[in-house]
A and B are shown apart, each in its own frame.
Chain A
Amino acid sequence: AQSVAQPEDQVNVAEGNPLTVKCTYSVSGNPYLFWYVQYPNRGLQFLLKYITGDNLVKGSYGFEAEFNKSQTSFHLKKPSALVSDSALYFCAVRPPNSNYQLIWGAGTKLIIKP
C-alpha cells in the first residue's frame, strides 16, 4: 500500500538552530512531493514541492527540502529556526499515475523555543 511516514510526532528546536522535519514515502514510480504548514485553526499553506530536477528545493519562509530517491525521503529543513515557525507540518505525495490523489503524512508538530 502506498503511504507517507512522518516518524516524529513532535520536533523541538531552539530558536536560531537548524531544524529538520522528516518524511519518507512508499510510492512506486516518480511521485510529486509537497510540504504544507498549518497554523492553529487555519487551512493548509503550501511551502514547497519537488517534481523533477535539482534535489534541493527552496520554498516559502526560508524553508527547503531535500529529495533523496534512494532513501525515498523528502526532509524539510531550515538553517535557522524562528519562533514563528512553530506549527504543524504535513508531507504529501502525489503518485505519478494520479490526477488528484494526495497521500498525506500524519503531521509533525514543530515547536521552536526562544
Chain B
Amino acid sequence: DTGVSQNPRHKITKRGQNVTFRCDPISEHNRLYWYRQTLGQGPEFLTYFQNEAQLEKSRLLSDRFSAERPKGSFSTLEIQRTEQGDSAMYLCASSLAQGAEAFFGQGTRLTVV
C-alpha cells in the first residue's frame, strides 16, 4: 500500500496524558499537512510542512500541540496534557506540488476520557 499511513488508528487516553501520532506520507510527496476533524464538520487545518520545514501553524493550535517532520519524511503530532476538547479525528495528508491534490490517511481517532 503506497498511500498515506497513520498510526495508531484509534487512541483512548485519560485527560492530562500526552499522546503522539505518526504519519507516513506518500514517499515522493514533499508537502505534509495535519488536520483535525470533528463529527459532521469539514477538516480544520492544523499545520503544514514542506520537506522538514514547518511553514505554517494554525492559530487554532495551542502550545500543547507540536508537530515535527525531522527528516522530511514521516511526521509526528504530539498533544500534551490532553483535554476532552481534543477528542477528534486527526488527519494527515500529503501532496506533491501546489496545484496537486492532497492524499489523506485514514486518520487517528482520539478519545479523551
Footprint of B on A, CB under 8 Å?
Answer: 32, 34, 36, 41-46, 49, 51, 90, 92, 94, 99-102, 104-107
B87 in contact (CB, < 8 A): no
Footprint of A on B, CB under 8 Å?
Answer: 4, 6, 31, 33, 40-43, 45, 48, 50, 55-56, 91, 93, 98-99, 101-107, 109
Measured between beta carbons, the chain B residues less than 8 angstroms from A104 are 42-43
Minimal beta-carbon separation of A60 from chain B (angstroms): 11
A88 nearest in chain B by CB position: B40
| A106 to B42 Cα, complex, angstroms | 5
CB <8 Å contact, A106 and B91: no
CB <8 Å contact, B102 and A43: no
CB <8 Å contact, B105 and A43: yes
| A34 to B99 Cα, complex, angstroms | 10
| A106 to B105 Cα, complex, angstroms | 19
CB <8 Å contact, B43 and A49: no
| A36 to B43 Cα, complex, angstroms | 11
B32 nearest in chain A by CB position: A100
CB <8 Å contact, B104 and A44: yes
Minimal beta-carbon separation of B26 from chain A (angstroms): 12
Measured between beta carbons, the chain B residues less than 8 angstroms from A102 are 33, 43, 45, 102
Measured between beta carbons, the chain A residues less than 8 angstroms from B107 are 42-43
CB <8 Å contact, A100 and B33: yes
Measured between beta carbons, the chain A residues less than 8 angstroms from B6 are 43
Minimal beta-carbon separation of B109 from chain A (angstroms): 8
